[in-house]
Amino acid sequence: MAGPKTIDPELVISHQFPEGDFTYSERDVVLYALGVGACSGNAVDEKELKYVYHNLGQPFVKVLPTFAVLFPFQLVNQLMRLPGLQFNPALLLHGQQYLEICKPLPTSCNVRNEAVVAGLHDKGKAAVIEIETTSYDRESGEALCKNRSTLYLRGAGGFSKSSSMYTYSRNAAKMNFSTGFPDTPPFAIHEESTQSSQALLYRLSGDYNPLHSDPVVANIAGFSRPILHGLCTLGFAVRAVIKCCCHGEPNMVKSLMGRFLLHVYPGETLITEMWLEQERVVYRTMVKERSQAVFSGFVVLNRLPSAM
């Protein structure tokens, strides 16, 4: 006997998200930078101090490109109210994140967000939904960036009406997220310890999921203690790429993708290996204490980096 239908694909892909807002100041920019480890090993790091301090005042601090992953957070949280989509939120996994930077992010801004369902796929035991959000500077109307969040809804698959699995992708030809790791030694390796309080600091940027702060919730989810936010690990990895392959210049980042492979516990040491392929840096982040890969992806640069 067939189980209850969990997803109506036509309703899902035709959903019109309401316009969203995200307003931030230089204080939010600095708090985010600290949350993803900027200056944690050296408070006067010449390549990173600019993210948290400027001698002309805080309105002049630089913005890490991954700060933009915060923009669509409220829109993605509306999934529970999306018509035609039924799933257990406790079984949701953030699979990967794509970010395209249209122009350097201002230090403070009132952002207008427009979101669409960019992909929906039946994987049998799970459903995969992709939410694409384009963010604009509300004052100038200029596009700032585009996020695409890929979410795995475990237990929500099996909604296809025919023998072939249902799949839908908007702009599929433009989205090539494949990564491979060369057999050659990495171009650069960056090792950095997270702090035991890293998740408690990062959550102040807006993700208050108790999985990252409450030991009881973490134990129920199968973890020995609260885990680090996946997007925090993304921030650590991309910051390592900027530091090692971009001379510390964040505006060299054109686009990036990160794939979440395994959890990270606050206090663990992250080792990010980087391979330079023309304007593309492929990276993989390992947890030193467990010798396991936890994150992988790529960063596309605006130009070839000059000799280090």
Q: Is 230 a catalytic residue?
A: yes
Are residues 252 and 111 part of one domain? no
Q: Is 227 a catalytic residue?
A: yes
Q: What b/e string do you get for 19-51 counting C-beta neighbours within 10 Å, with b at 16 or more? A: ebebebebebbbbbbbbbbbbbeeeebebbbbb
| 182 domain-assigned | no
Are residues 42 and 84 part of one domain? yes
Q: Is 212 a catalytic residue?
A: yes
Among 121, 190, 212, 263, the one annotated catalytic = 212
Span 196-228, pLDDT tens digits? 999 999 999 999 999 999 999 999 989 999 999
Angle between helices 230-245 and 26-35 (to 10 degrees): 90
Q: Is 129 a catalytic residue?
A: no
Q: What is the pLDDT of residue 171?
A: 75
- What residues have CB less than 8 Å from 205, skipping those under 6 apart? 28, 31, 32, 35, 70
Q: What is the pLDDT of residue 174?
A: 54
Is 11 a residue whose pLDDT tops 60? yes
Is 308 a residue whose pLDDT tops 80? no
Are residues 113 and 30 part of one domain? yes
Q: What is the pLDDT of residue 2?
A: 41
Identify the bridge partners of residue 264 per DSSP, sorted by sequence position. Answer: none
Identity of the amino acid at 248: G
Are residues 202 and 126 part of one domain? no
Q: Which domain holds residue 57?
A: 10-170
Among 141, 170, 199, identify where a domain stops: 170
| 306 domain-assigned | no
Strands (E), 123-225: 126-137, 143-154, 167-169, 188-193
Among 170, 199, 225, identify where a domain stops: 170
| 4 domain-assigned | no
Among 7, 101, 131, 227, the one annotated catalytic = 227
How many folded domains does the chain comprise? Answer: 2
CATH code at position 256? 3.10.129.10
Span 63-83, pLDDT tens digits? 999 999 999 988 767 888 899
Are residues 197 and 158 part of one domain? no
Span 91-131, pLDDT tens digits? 888 999 999 999 999 999 999 999 999 999 999 999 999 99
- Whether 75 and 113 have beta carbons less than 8 Å apart is answered as yes
Enter the pTM of the model.
Answer: 0.92
